[in-house]
Amino acid sequence: MAGTFFTVGLGPGDPDLMTVKAARIIGAVPVIAYFAKRGHSGHARGIVQGRTRADVEEVRLDYPFTTEVSLNDPEYAVTIGAFYEMSAACLATRLDAGKDVALLCEGDPFFYGSSMYLYDRLHGSYTHEVVPGICGMSGCWAAAGTPIVHGDDVLTVLPGTLDEESLTTRLRDCDGAVIMKVGRNLPKIRTALARAGVADRAIYVERGTMPGQRIVPLAEFHDAPAPYFSMILVPGRQRPR
């Protein structure tokens, strides 16, 4: 009998913000799997430190690249697709052996999470369960003490990889916004925020809920590029309250 495939959201980074269900599954399964950048320990693995079985088997899935290749480069889709196929096959061997497998994912698995691509490839063949997690942006606005939208405000979530014109247009048309995937896109994002007339409300959050957390008005952040675990909040709530 094949094992069960769990896709487990771990929350924004603080281990205490993992759900009770996620912690229970991680402490019970014989196999955990997680993505990592080559040469790094793996952030998801760090969140569950001390919470797994003593005899757990760990399956580390090293990305072939992270930001070195553009999303628009034809090589990206081919190489990353092959990586996800290989990773899914690797987990399938454990599932076929009757072992339950928990694939770890920072934040929520279905919100920009790489784990969704293994879910796509495996859920049709195995018993599966997805455990939602607190999204990184929720952890960041809570850490910043910044209510983000109210009433009938519209919240827009934007990847910083969009072109400047698209970012500007969408920022003009929303009340509150969260900009993810900041990194080397920060200069372009700054320009879009200024053009949309919302730069004065922008808040920079780095490593929200994690050690080394940094929260400042974007105007006071001058480093570039921004690190991976960073995002920009543009609070709505401009109407009477």
Q: What is the mean pLDDT of the chain?
A: 94
Judged against a pLDDT cut of 70, whether residue 67 lies above it is answered with no
Asked whether residue 153 is domain-assigned, the answer is: yes
Q: Which of 81, 109, 134 is the last residue of a domain?
A: 134
pLDDT of res. 132: 98
Instruction: Mark whether 99 and 23 lie in a shared domain.
Output: yes
pLDDT of res. 241: 83
Query: What is the band of 74 on the pLDDT scale with cuts at 50, 70, 90?
Result: confident
Query: What is the band of 233 on the pLDDT scale with cuts at 50, 70, 90?
Result: very high
Q: 153: Cβ–Cβ under 8 A, 6 or more apart, which residues?
A: 175, 176, 236, 237, 239
pLDDT of res. 223: 79
pLDDT of res. 83: 95
pLDDT of res. 73: 72
Query: What stretches of the chain show up as alpha helix (H) in DSSP?
Result: 20-28, 43-47, 74-96, 115-122, 136-143, 164-172, 186-196
The CA-atom distances, in angstroms, between 230 and each of 53, 125, 200, 204, 233 are: 31, 36, 18, 7, 10
- Binning the chain into helix, strand and coil, the percentages to the nearest 5 are 35, 20, 45
Tell me the per-residue pLDDT of 86-142, one tens digit each, with 9 for 90 and over: 999 999 999 999 999 999 999 999 999 999 999 999 999 999 999 999 999 999 999
Mean pLDDT on 201-212 = 96
Instruction: Mark whether 59 and 121 lie in a shared domain.
Output: yes
pLDDT of res. 40: 78
The tokens describing 232, both together, are: 């920009």
Identify whether the C-beta of residue 49 lies closer than 8 Å to the C-beta of residue 26. no
- DSSP labels for 82-150? HHHHHHHHHHHHHHHTT--EEEEESB-TTSS-THHHHHHHHTTTS-EEEE----HHHHHHHHTT-----
Mean pLDDT on 65-74 = 68
The CA-atom distances, in angstroms, between 131 and each of 118, 134, 222 are: 14, 10, 37
Mean pLDDT on 169-196 = 96
Q: Which amino acid is at 224?
A: A
pLDDT of res. 68: 61
pLDDT of res. 75: 80
pTM of the model: 0.91
| Domain membership of residue 183 as a residue range | 137-234
Instruction: Mark whether 129 and 11 lie in a shared domain.
Output: yes
Q: What is the CATH number of the domain that holds 63?
A: 3.40.1010.10
Q: Which of 100, 134, 168 is the last residue of a domain?
A: 134
Count the domains in the chain: 2
